[in-house]
Structures are given as structure tokens and as C-alpha cells.
Amino acid sequence: MINSTRLDGIALVVGSGRGIGREAAFSLAEAGAKAVVFADMNEDTAKESSEESKKYASNPAYQTAVFKMNVQDDKSVQDMVDYVVQEYGRLDYAVNAAGVDNGVHAPIAEVDVETYDRIMNINARGNLICVRAQVAAMQKQEPKTWTSRNGTRDIGRGVIINLASANSFVGLPGKGCYTISKHAFMAITKMAGLDHAPEGIRVNAVCPTWVRTPPLDVELEKNPEVRGMISAIVPIKRAAECEEVSDTIAFLCSPAASYINGTSLLVDAAVTTTVRLF
Ligand SMILES: NC(=O)c1ccc[n+]([C@@H]2O[C@H](COP(=O)([O-])OP(=O)(O)OC[C@H]3O[C@@H](n4cnc5c(N)ncnc54)[C@H](O)[C@@H]3O)[C@@H](O)[C@H]2O)c1
């Protein structure tokens, strides 16, 4: 194992009750985080995830907590970040994984503006508010250093990872609202990385295609056509395991990624590289 992929700081994962956020929290715990705060609008699932994380944590001093919040409520986002700093003294890694899908697909000419507002409100505005509060907390803390076989380097004040999407780069017919929101989330990532790099805050996005979260598993079970579609479109011929996304999040948080900023890691098995004809 490369030493610089180990973590030892305080993590906050927004949208960690379920799916990729939950696995991201587990990966951070496994990589050595001292504490992981599970933030979600669903307190029950966040509690379950928080309890389960104790099984995977590798830091002997590991602590975990739950914070009920909603990315659509500015005050609850600020309270969440204040809570982490008050309880644990700083915020080293923030992961923003709360998000919603399009629901019913519609071409742009038929986009329902209420749906557009709802999706943008959560995926773009909500996540911007999270990033803003997280950056503000990180600005106030001391930077850290990392000592490797070649000496000591500055690794900054904190790291933010946003769960964007392959749809941050390409479209999917009928998925306009989601695609627009994910392009916006990628722009938030680039701008935050650019604006706050001089302060030692790195901001990156992880951009997956289909990931085997419970809803996709249900879909794969009841609808073999979905499996066929994924196999036809994805060069690796299967959906990603959650861990294949969440472990990249832990990597991007680590000292090993200390020069990676304002960019995305596409976890898409090359889906976005080409038009696939068969
Ligand atoms: N699953 C995929 O295949 C896939 C692919 C590409 C990108 N993504 C993105 O990754 C992120 C996570 O996806 P997922 O499939 O794990 O989702 P999910 O629906 O399984 O989990 C999302 C979590 O966020 C929470 N959440 C939703 N809205 C919230 C809000 N307003 N405030 C606070 N918490 C809220 C939910 O309660 C849930 O626990 C999303 O942004 C999604 O767009 C997912």
C-alpha cells in the first residue's frame, strides 16, 4: 500500500444515508479517517450507515456521528458544518453526494419547469451552498503537511469531493434537467478549485456513469433490458460497483492527490470517450 493514500483527518459526507455517499463514508473510514459525520435528510438511514462504518474503520480513535439536514435549507447546511468544527476541531474532507435524478425523461422542448427548478435546487444550488460553507470552515484552519520519502510538502487546509456525473460532460436523451444540473455541479467544482487553491483548499469531482446502488440493483433484477443496455453501452460491460467509485473519493482526499485540483475523475469505463455502435 502507498503510505500517502492513508487518511487521518475529520470527514463529513453529505448524502451518506444511502448509495455512493454511504460507501464513500465507509471508504474514508477504512482509509483511516479519525471521524466521519454522516449528514443526510434521512436520519434513520444515516444512523444505520454511521453504525455500520464502525466495522470498517481502521483508525483506533475512530468516532462517528449523524447530522440531519437538507441541502435545500441554507441554515441546516451551515449548522452541519458548524457542528463538525465544534465537535471535532476541523473539517479535513467533505464529500457532497446528495443528489436527485430526472424521474420521467423528457426532451428539452417538453421540460417541465417545476421539475427543472427542483433538480437545480438540489443538485446545483444545494451543493453550492454545501461547498460554500465547507470552504469557509476550511479557510479558518491551519494547513497540514505530509512527509514522504522525498521530504515534507504542504497538503493544504482541506479537500472537497463532489459527486457529479458522466452527465457533467455528455448528455443522455431526455435527461436534460439532470444533465444541466450536473454540468453546473462540475462548474462549481472548477470554480471552487480555482478560487480557493491559493488558500490550500482542493476541490474535485468524481464522475460516474451507472453505479450499482440499491435502486439500480432492483431495476437490473426486474428489467433484463437495463442489463442489456448497460452491457451494450459500457465498454467494461457492467455497471460500476459502489466501491469502485467510493475508493476513488478516498484517494482524491489523500496526500497522494495533493496536486489534483479543480478537475474531475471520470469513473465511467470509457463510456464518454466514444460513440459506440455495437
Ligand atoms: N447511482 C448512480 O448510478 C450515479 C451515477 C452518476 C452520478 N451519481 C450521483 O451520485 C450522487 C449519489 O447518488 P446515489 O445513486 O448514491 O443516490 P441515492 O439516491 O442512493 O442517495 C442519495 C442520498 O442523498 C440523500 N439526499 C437526497 N436529497 C437530499 C437533500 N435535499 N438533502 C440531504 N440529503 C439528501 C438521500 O436521502 C440519500 O441518502 C448523486 O448526486 C447522483 O446524481 C449517481
The answer on pLDDT for 278 being more than 70 is no
Reported as a single tens digit per residue, the pLDDT across 136-188 is: 999 999 999 999 999 999 999 999 999 999 999 999 999 999 999 999 999 99
Region of poorest pLDDT, from 10-19, 72-81, 229-238: 229-238
pLDDT on residue 136:
98
Q: What is the mean pLDDT of residues 78-95?
A: 98
Q: How far is the CA of 39 from the centre of ligand 1 (A)?
A: 12
Question: In percent, how much of the chain has pLDDT > 90?
Answer: 95
Q: How far apart are CA 84 and CA 67, in angstroms?
A: 9
Q: How far apart are CA 237 and CA 244, in angstroms?
A: 15
Which residues in the chain belong to E strands, given as ranges?
A: 10-14, 35-40, 63-68, 93-96, 144-148, 151-156, 158-163, 201-208, 264-267
Q: How far is the CA of 173 from the centre of ligand 1 (A)?
A: 21
Q: Where are the domains of the chain?
A: 3-211+241-267
Q: 199 pLDDT band (50/70/90 cuts)?
A: very high
Q: Tell me which CATH code domain 3-211+241-267 carries.
A: 3.40.50.720
Residues framing ligand 1 (Cβ under 6 A): 15, 17-21, 40-42, 45, 69-72, 97-100, 122, 126, 163, 165, 208, 210-211, 213, 216
Task: State the residue for C-alpha cell 442489456.
Answer: 228
